Structure 1
Amino acid sequence: MSPKPRANDVKERLVEAAIRLIGEGGPEALQARKLAAEVGVSTMAVYTHFGGMAALVDEVARTGFLRLSAWLAEVGETEDPVADIFSLARTYRQAVAEQPQLYAVTFGQSTPGGKRATLSDLTTEEGREAAQEGLEAFDHIVRATERAIEAGRFRPADKYQAAAQLWSALHGFVTLEASGHFGPGEQGIEHILIPLGITLAVGLGDTVEKAERSTEAAKAAWRARNRNAGQGGND
């Protein structure tokens, strides 16, 4: 007789199956019956491990934030914090582009089974205390923003609020691009995302010349990362 799977194993398999169903069929594909069949358990397992579909959706969102944080952690830090912000933006865009359905749930843009992920205001101390995984992902942008302020590239400001401005613009771009508003391929990066980033950097206190140099540094870093990963060197 096969050993009985551990509770944590079943829970993880349910989350992975939920992400797979959402990715293949959109938010409407996440149903307790389909999920149970995918994992090979009874529908009661969903309620045993999560208490209901709402908590499962929250767990999917938590997983999405953890994966996004892992992506952003790969960027690392250089001596140019503004270039690092551009690199984080490019990486964020790629992560969301590869799993758009997962991140639609993660950011509360879709509601599987009518359930929306529970989100917090990461610009406030109370909100940050309540959302560790989301904060972990957001903190990569916050840290780069803080470094830009300390380096005199951005004027003194609340680092969370300044980072939230950058995040808002970035996520708006990613959402519109995913909907096809900026054309096929990656042309939106050159035509929209990079000029948008320069505009924001200047608005936060940088100069146009320094911001443009940072974009070129970020492009070079992106090409190098892709070459090292064997993915080519497209801008």
Structure 2
Amino acid sequence: MARTKDPAVRTLLVERAAHMLRTREPITLRSLVAGTGMSTMAVYTHFDGMDGLWKALRQEGFTRLAARFTLITPTDDPVRDLTALVAAYLRNALEHPDLYRVMFDETFALEDLTAADATLEHLVQAAARARATKRFHPDTVPLDLATQSWIIGHGLVSLVANGPLPPTTLDHGPFLLTSLFTGAGDHPDRCRASVDQGWHPA
């Protein structure tokens, strides 16, 4: 007889595993359920074992990133919006540094690759709107520019969230994004204003 899956239990186990990562506790079947009143069978019921748990942790990182992106309301300034998405990416990573690290651990597959790809699509759409409004060159490829923007955000936050550099390293973000966007055709003065508004929203 199949065991009934409880979404609340699944969430509790994912949250507990994320907490254990954050506090550098070793995660095993027994340590994960210790003090929860559940048996180790709960991990098999909801994740088919520890490999499934790690997949769920990876997915949770992208789920939280997607939720953060949905808080960015599109405006009539797509360059500002693209910058705001990169800034949101950084904030999400700094708030969940251990989940962020697991997100890109390809030792385990994602549960839903499409949902993960959808996070990048937020940036692609902002880049496409910037091209459509003639902020970027007509031959700009939105996916390429979105990827380059993601690379800037990922590089910066990787050096701060789990790396050796201080948080002030993130202050280089506006300069890097302005350089990228002006290279794509945006006017320098207008670009700087948009990037500043996106990076430091009122």
TM-score tier by shorter-chain length is 0.7 to 0.9
Deviations 1:10-42 (A, max 9, x none): 2222112111211221xx622211112153222
Aligned letter for 1:69? A
- Aligned equivalent of 2:104, options 77, 102, 107: 107
Aligned length: 198
**What is the match of residue 146 of structure 2?**
163
Distance apart, 1:219 and its partner CA? 4.8
2:56 and 2:110 in contact (8 A); partners too: no
**What is the match of residue 49 of structure 2?**
52
Q: Which runs of 5+ in 1 are unaligned?
A: 110-115, 121-129, 225-235
Q: Which runs of 5+ in 2 are unaligned?
A: none
Provide runs of 4+ in structure 1 moved above 4 Å: none
- Tell me, yes or no, if structure 1 residue 24 matches structure 2 residue 23: yes
- Aligned equivalent of 2:184, options 190, 200, 204: 204
2:29 and 2:43 in contact (8 A); partners too: yes
Task: Determine which structure has greater relative contact order: mean sequence separation of CA pairs < 8 Å that are 6+ residues apart, divided by chain length.
Answer: 2
Distance in 1 (alpha carbons) for counterparts of 2:62 and 2:87: 17
2:79 and 2:130 in contact (8 A); partners too: yes
**What is the match of residue 180 of structure 1?**
164
Distance in 2 (alpha carbons) for counterparts of 1:101 and 1:139: 24
Structure 2 SS opposite 1:39: coil
Distance in 2 (alpha carbons) for counterparts of 1:177 and 1:20: 20
Distance in 2 (alpha carbons) for counterparts of 1:90 and 1:68: 11
1:96 and 1:103 in contact (8 A); partners too: yes
Aligned letter for 1:203? G
Distance apart, 1:7 and its partner CA? 3.0
1:82 and 1:144 in contact (8 A); partners too: yes
Deviations 1:104-129 (A, max 9, x none): 001228xxxxxx33259xxxxxxxxx
% identical equivalent positions:
32
Distance in 1 (alpha carbons) for counterparts of 2:30 and 2:7: 20
2:87 and 2:153 in contact (8 A); partners too: no
Distance in 1 (alpha carbons) for counterparts of 2:127 and 2:16: 36
Matches within 5 A, 1:1-235: 7-25=6-24, 29-108=26-105, 116-118=107-109, 131-155=113-137, 156-178=139-161, 179-181=163-165, 183-184=166-167, 187-190=168-171, 192-219=172-199, 222=201, 224=202
1:173 and 1:193 in contact (8 A); partners too: yes
Structure 2 SS opposite 1:180: coil
The normalised TM-score by structure 1 is 0.75
Cα separation, partners in 2 of 1:208 and 1:119, compared to 1, 3 Å: farther
RMSD across aligned positions (CA) = 2.4
Distance in 2 (alpha carbons) for counterparts of 1:180 and 1:80: 34
